[in-house]
Structure 1
């Protein structure tokens, strides 16, 4: 397999810039996620790595070789598409074996390789069936088999589970991750589904408008958002944002928000202007003695937990609370926060200013 290094990658389509000066490293054997909303540049980035699009500028290294201007056929990459891209006139066996036959591999080797791939994917019993009658999950396994059988340096996957229903998506996500762990293959995977990225990825790049917002392991992406976009895009429900004008001096451990003093992480830089107090729903608790207060607008029962929406002076805020905690619409409630779970953002730019969990971004506690 192979390490992939991207340096200052840029892609322009006329006056539109799809990807802006992206740089990151994918370690050998890593399951790497490109995550973001539609139009953020993630698929364009994947296609440039694979050689299906040539970059406007920048460098792409695969296994130490610069390949930015090489065609896809010279990169030893296997691509798995969202819509399977199978040959409908061939059965499963012929679909999987086609890449090897086209390379001139001997029949006995082809047969052995196809049998091994079928065993890995658990599709031995459908090898002689036509692909047209298969379920979506089985067709995706066949598409994966056709990619795996080549034993390429890296796999590129463009939302391969997007066409499956929710039950199949979850099952196939587990199978894909287990398959990756068995093979140790370098895999680059595009998705707009943050749960899929968090579940499967070793590392995640979060993109927005062609720009990399943050790069890191899933827990850091969740706990240490570098921007309001990341904090809002990751999490269900996403992070709460309470906006207020304020002054933050270097070394401060508290801010005054709507006439209430609240503890925050240690500020490593000063700031004056509109601030945003960010906290995830599971990090808010009800406390009758708390000075910051609000009125309950709605409750949503989720089994072991409930999501409670509270109207405050700084805006609406969601609280993930135990389902047995008695909360009624219209109640006036106190809201308590632990400074260790707070992130302060600059409202205008959306960048993180300080967060105790966020050591290494722009501040620490």
Structure 2
């Protein structure tokens, strides 16, 4: 397996820039997620790593070697596509064996590698079946098997679970992560599903309009969003945003919204202007004693919890609270925010203001 380094990689299609000077590092053996909405540049980035697209500029290093100008055939990678790309006229065994046969490997070695991959994936019992009658999950396992037998430096996966239904996708995500852990493989995985990225990834790059918005561990990205886009894209429901105008001095631990002081982590630098006070729904509590008020608009029962939507003077707020806590539509309630978990953003740039919570995040 190998470390993968992306340095100032840019991709232009005529006058359109799909990826803008991206840089990040995938550690050896890491399960790395490229996350973002459709058209954000994540698949283009993956295709450049694979050699299916050549970058306009920048470096792509796999195992310390710059492969940016090398064709896909000269990069030690295996690509798993969303639509499986199996050969319908071949059975499972021959589909998995195909890349080894193409390399001229001996028949005995091909058989050994195919049976080892089938054992890892738990598909020994279907090796001699045609692929046409397989379930979506089994076809995906066959596609993974064809990648595994090559024993590549890294695996590249482009939304490999996207064609599966929701329940089976969740089970396959668990299997895929477990497979990665057993093999110790370096894996880069593209997805638009933030829950999938949070569940599976060691590190996540969040992309939007060809730009890397944030790069880090799932928990850091969730707790310390660098931009308004990340705060809204990650989380279900997403972070609440309350807009206000004011001036915050260095070390400020409160922001005043609608004449009510609300807590926040101490700011490292002063800021004045339009701001956004952000807080996750699970960090909003309903309390009669709280001075900041909201009117209950709706409730959504989720089993052990409920999501309550409230109207406030600074915008709509969602609170995730225990299912048995009373919340009646139309009533006025107090909202208590855990200031240690909030993030304040510059409304103009969308960047988080630097604080004790997110020391590495600068406002721009």
TM > 0.5 fold call: yes
What SS class does the counterpart of residue 361 from structure 1 fall into? coil
CA distance in 2, matches of 1:240, 1:355: 19
CA displacement 1:284-340 (0-9 Å, x = unmatched) = 001111111010000000000000000000010000000000110011000011210
Task: Give the root-mean-square deviation of aligned CA atoms.
Answer: 0.9
Asked if 2 retains the 8 angstrom alpha-carbon contact of 1:341 and 1:355, the reply is: no
The aligned counterpart of 2:92 is 92
1:54 CA displacement: 0.1
The aligned counterpart of 1:83 is 83
CA distance in 2, matches of 1:359, 1:307: 31
1:341 partnered with 2:334: no
The aligned counterpart of 1:284 is 284
The aligned counterpart of 1:323 is 323
Asked if 1 retains the 8 angstrom alpha-carbon contact of 2:267 and 2:356, the reply is: no
What SS class does the counterpart of residue 99 from structure 1 fall into? helix
1:354 CA displacement: 3.8
The aligned counterpart of 1:26 is 26
1:356 CA displacement: 4.3
What SS class does the counterpart of residue 252 from structure 1 fall into? coil
The aligned counterpart of 1:163 is 163
Unaligned runs of 5+ in 1: none
The aligned counterpart of 2:124 is 124
CA distance in 2, matches of 1:154, 1:118: 19
1:1-365 paired onto structure 2 within 5 Å = 1-362=1-362
CA distance in 2, matches of 1:110, 1:123: 16
CA distance in 1, matches of 2:147, 2:141: 10
Asked if 1 retains the 8 angstrom alpha-carbon contact of 2:354 and 2:360, the reply is: no
CA displacement 1:150-177 (0-9 Å, x = unmatched) = 0000000000000000111011000000
1:355 CA displacement: 4.6
Asked if 1 retains the 8 angstrom alpha-carbon contact of 2:296 and 2:310, the reply is: yes
CA distance in 1, matches of 2:255, 2:34: 36
CA distance in 1, matches of 2:122, 2:266: 53
Asked if 2 retains the 8 angstrom alpha-carbon contact of 1:265 and 1:354, the reply is: no
1:260 CA displacement: 1.1
Asked if 2 retains the 8 angstrom alpha-carbon contact of 1:343 and 1:356, the reply is: no
What SS class does the counterpart of residue 353 from structure 2 fall into? strand
Asked if 2 retains the 8 angstrom alpha-carbon contact of 1:284 and 1:337, the reply is: yes
CA distance in 2, matches of 1:354, 1:298: 34
Unaligned runs of 5+ in 2: none
1:229 CA displacement: 0.4
Asked if 2 retains the 8 angstrom alpha-carbon contact of 1:8 and 1:21, the reply is: yes
Asked if 2 retains the 8 angstrom alpha-carbon contact of 1:340 and 1:355, the reply is: no
What SS class does the counterpart of residue 88 from structure 1 fall into? coil
